[in-house]
Amino acid sequence: MIVLVHVTAYWLLVLLAGLVIVDAIPFDWARIERCAAALLVGVLASTCVSFVGSLWIGISPITALGGPLLIIAVGIFLRRGAWVAHMGEIAATLRARALPMFSSVGLVWRVVVLGTVALLFWVLFSHALEVGAGGVVSFSSPVWSDWSLHASIAQSYLLGQNLPPLDPEVSGAALHYPFLVDFQPALLETLGQSLWGALDMSSLAVALAAAVLIWYAAWRVVGRRELAATVGLVLVLFGGSLGFVGLYQDGCEQLANTTHSVTAADCAEVSASTPLTALKVVVHLPDELLHIPRYYDGEPFTGVLTAPSLPDLVWWEPLLTFWLPQRDFAYGMGVVALAVSLAWAGLRRREVPLLVAAGAVTGLVPLFNPLSFLAVTGIVAVWLLWARWWRGLMAFLAPLLVLGTGPLLLVVGGPHGALNNPGGYDEFPQIDLGWLSHSGVPCAGPQIAGTPQCTALYVPGATVSEVVTYAVRTLTTPGFYSGVVGFWLANTGVFIPLCAVIAAIRLRGPGGWAAQARELGLVRFMVPFFLLFAFANVVITQPSAWDNTKLFQFWYLGAAIPVAWILTVSGRKLWRAAAAVLLVSLVATGMLATLAAVRGQSSLSAGPRVSARSVWEFPEAQTVATAVEAGTSPSAVFLTEGQPNDPVIALAGRTSVLGWDAWPASEGQPLEARYQAVQAMYAGCPQAGTCDLGSLLREYKVSYVEFEPVDVNLIVANEAWYRAQNLSVLVQTAHYTIYDVRPLWSSPG
């Protein structure tokens, strides 16, 4: 009960802190929009303040509650008269409209739509990590892996005293990651909430605020049309590929396995019986759907067949791939939606304060999601440059650069990795014309002349002539252009063609749809988002080429709003029917993937559905974590084999010489020398003669060596040698053993 009171108080204070800031922005907020903006801004601002306070006095309930309290106190002091009067106005409005507040059809629509989204998010996030008899499990493989990193960072704050933060996965290395995303769960833990509850709740709150802000951004841009705003949000949440085209074939084969009315031959060829077969498939599909073993967008799904229905599907379902597992993503989407609303309104009305507010909000986000900072900066700058409104541009850039430049450099100013890193290719930035429409083979500049298959070029390692050589070779490759077009048609369906239709409509004569498009400024609104699309199709901004999908999601958000307009604009019945079909084609894959993830799948039979439930924490791991937390210094360094959810890192908050190498590789860390050192240390000293073990343990400050059941980094571990050294055992369970190796620093054996 006490924990509930503390956590509730925290969220109320965060919301009030956000209201103090949001109410200083001269914007015509809608009621629900104001609350969502306050929640998002309150989380951003109060987490920043609490982080600074924790650097001074340590992380504790005082800093958790003190951050939002300080913002509230400063805000009331600076605007005490206006804010108190405004609170009185809100109270009077609520009293006056307590009964008739739902008389507005538009408000009822919003409550129903956003309430449905809230219910969907609750279902997804409440199942992200669940406590069961066997420990904590997740229904999503991406959550299982991604949240292991988030848990490691959060626990390193709370239990490892990791302030200022270093990378818990790479001992002694700076943390080049938006680390404030995981500082907030650590704050919630100081108030008594469990780790998994803190991760769940913070993600749910920010994701819901972001979804509401996306709805209102669309609502404002398309002329305050509720249906268009709803379609825009649905596109952002479920928009996907053409993978659903495999549904008929799968449904037919499933029906052939479970009934005698359809045969395999009926599914393999078109004949006179095909219409009847199609009718049977449609009739039986509701019953058979969850027995079809395909995820349709190609996303990995544990335990069942996952072959994609089309090749090169990389546009995975946004909810499952970004909103749920990638905790920083919702922060970015929320800030983009809020900043776009403010900046677009400021541009259209020529109101400088709104651009100042857009810049200030964006300046808070680099330590939560740096890509959204870069995206908003580019999008709004293009709008203002197009309008030649220099005063507005300066008003936007000034707070953005003052607040955001330092944090941005702190996150992105790390190393650029190595071309043949043990964790994969991670040199960036790269030029990769066509992005993933081909099999990317990165190379450095000197390799370009003799590497015909080289399809991506590491920019810092290339001369101008090498860049030109690469570009000419790629752009003159047979099939390059058709490959790019086919790739995007497969991954986004009619989405881009609909955007082209909007541009064409804008060029038509006066009246009708053309007049509406011009009045709303839809083409101007879209252009910077498509510049972002073009940029992400050429430049790899992160170590992993696939991670450009995050930039593409921001493009999709902006382009989805005009697409929602054209799908809902008033017209003839034929167009309305066609628009409904087009909308279904855009979201069918995403909805199928979400249904399969939540409800489970099975093989082509009538067997039981199988959910992709992965154990995230189990009793044995908790035993290990408890022993480590009680028996070691918070600053102790461990040698581990790379298990993503290693209890030493993810639960006890300690630091590893090298955790799962995919994480530091994705942050650009060069790992080759460290990987070799880890291999050497795990090998012990089995041979007579010179042994560098002692010097390596000292160099990396390794106090404990862990032998664990899962070796993801492919390390050859010689536990027999360590066992023979008569070292003290910190903890031993059925699958884990941890040795104290500090005696080996001076005498390796």
| Both structure tokens of 610 | 């199988």
The tens digit of pLDDT for each residue in 531-590 reads 999 999 999 888 778 889 999 999 999 999 999 999 998 777 888 899 999 999 999 999
Check: CB of residue 582 under 8 Å from CB of residue 494.
yes
Q: Spell out where 511-598 has E strands.
A: 539-540
Span 63-78, mean pLDDT?
A: 93
Q: How distant, in Å, are the alpha carbons of 84, 395, 664 from that of 417?
A: 53, 37, 9
| DSSP letters spanning 23-67 | TTS-----HHHHHHHHHHHHHHHHHHHHHHHHHHH-SSHHHHHHH
Q: Give pLDDT, residue 739.
A: 96
pLDDT at 310: 80
- H or E segment to which residue 706 belongs: strand 702-707
C-beta atoms surrounding 301 within 10 Å? 22
> Taking the C-alpha atoms of 728, 729, 730 and 732 in order, what is their torsion angle to the nearest 10 degrees?
-170
Q: What are phi and psi of 706, to 5 degrees?
A: -105, 135
Q: Is 77 helix (H, G, I), strand (E, B) or coil?
A: helix
Residue 262 has pLDDT above 60, yes or no: yes
What is the distance of C-alpha 178 from the center of its chain?
A: 12
- In the beta sheet, which residues pair with residue 131? 136
Q: Is the pLDDT of residue 467 over 70?
A: yes
| Structure confidence at residue 273 (pLDDT) | 80
Q: Would you say 429 and 442 are in contact if contact means Cβ atoms under 8 Å apart?
A: no
Where is pLDDT greater, at 253 or 559?
A: 559
Instruction: Return the sign of the alpha-carbon dihedral for residues 187, 190, 195, 201.
Output: negative
Looking at residue 293, its pLDDT comes to 67
Q: Average pLDDT of 356-374?
A: 95
| Residue 414: Cβ within 10 Å count | 19
Distance CA 242, CA 9 (A): 46
What's the pLDDT tens digit per position in 438-452?
866 777 777 776 666
Reported for 532-538, long-range contacts at CB under 8 A and 24+ positions apart, including other chains, are 532/375, 532/378, 532/379, 532/558, 533/559, 536/435, 537/433, 537/434, 537/435, 537/484, 538/431, 538/432, 538/433, 538/435
Give 123-156 pLDDT, tens digit per residue: 889 888 887 767 788 877 788 888 999 999 999 9
Instruction: Give the model confidence (pLDDT) of 722-731 as tens digits.
Output: 999 999 999 9
Q: Domain 618-745, what fold?
A: Rossmann fold (3.40.50)
Cα–Cα distance, 114 to 119 (Å, whole number): 9
Separation of alpha carbons 71 and 16, rounded Å: 9
Q: Supply the pLDDT for residue 219.
A: 96
Read off φ and ψ for residue 5, nearest 5 degrees: -65, -45
Q: What is the pLDDT of residue 663?
A: 83
Using the predicted structure, report yes or no on whether residue 31 has a pLDDT greater than 80. Answer: yes
- For the cut 50, the answer to whether the pLDDT of residue 80 exceeds it is yes
Q: What is the mean pLDDT of residues 173-197?
A: 92
What percent of the chain is predicted at pLDDT more than 90? 52
Least confident of 288-297, 426-435, 454-463, 735-744: 288-297
Looking at per-residue confidence, does 105 or 232 come out higher? 232
**Angle, alpha carbons 729-734-739 (nearest 5°):** 20
> Taking residues 284-312, what's their average pLDDT?
68
- Mutual angle of helices 352-363 and 390-412, in 10-degree steps: 0
DSSP string of 400-416, one letter each residue:
HHHHHHHHHHHHH-S--
Residue 409: C-alpha distances to residues 200, 321, 401 (Å): 29, 27, 11
Give per-residue pLDDT as tens, 86-102: 666 555 555 555 444 44
Residue 668 to residue 370: CA distance in whole angstroms: 15
61: amino acid identity, one letter? P
- Segment 156-163 shows an average pLDDT of 94
What pTM, to 2 d.p., does this model score?
0.93
Q: According to the model, what pLDDT value does residue 185 have?
A: 95
Q: What is the pLDDT of residue 429?
A: 80
Q: What is the mean pLDDT of the chain?
A: 86
Q: Whole-angstrom Cα distance, residue 624 to residue 136?
A: 15
Domain boundaries, the chain: 2-95+107-138+176-235+326-410, 415-567, 618-745
Angle between helices 195-221 and 183-190 (to 10 degrees): 130
Q: How many CA atoms lie within 13 A of 87 on its CB side?
A: 9
Kindly report the three-state secondary structure assignment for every residue of 201-248: HHHHHHHHHHHHHHHHHHHHHCCCCHHHHHHHHHHHHHCCCCHHHHHH
What Rg, from alpha-carbon coordinates, does the chain have? Answer: 27
Residue 211 has pLDDT above 90, yes or no: yes
Per-residue pLDDT at 514: 85
- Give φ, ψ of 695 to 5 degrees: -65, -35
pLDDT digits (tens, 9 = 90+) for 687-729: 666 788 899 999 999 999 999 987 777 888 889 999 999 999 9
In this model, does residue 658 exceed pLDDT 80? yes
Q: Order across the sheet with 442-443: list the strands.
A: 442-443, 456-458, 430-431, 539-540
Find the angle CA(385)-CA(388)-CA(392) to the nearest 5 degrees. 80
Q: CA-to-CA distance for 212 and 115, rounded, in angstroms?
A: 10
Closest to 177 in 3D by CA, of 460, 413, 430: 413
> What does the pLDDT read at residue 300?
57
